[in-house]
Amino acid sequence: MISYAVWLYFRFPLSLRMVEEMLAARGIGVTYETVRQWGRKFGKPFSDRIRQRAPARGDKWHLDEVVISIAGEQHRLWRAVDQNGFVLDVLIQRRRDARCAAAHEEALEIRRHAAARYDHG
Structural domain for 87, as ranges? 61-119
70 and 92 fall within a common domain = yes
**What is the C-alpha to C-alpha distance for residues 40 and 80, in angstroms, rounded to an integer?**
32
Q: Is the pLDDT of residue 106 over 90?
A: no
Q: What is the mean pLDDT of residues 6-19?
A: 85
pTM of the entire structure? 0.42
Q: What is the DSSP letter of 12?
A: S
User: Tell me: the pLDDT tens digits for 64-103?
Assistant: 888 888 899 998 888 888 887 777 778 788 877 777 667 7
Domain boundary among 52, 71, 91: 52
First to last CA, the chain: 36
Look at strands 87-93 and 73-82 and give their pairing.
Answer: antiparallel
Are 80 and 89 spatial neighbours (Cβ–Cβ below 8 Å)? yes
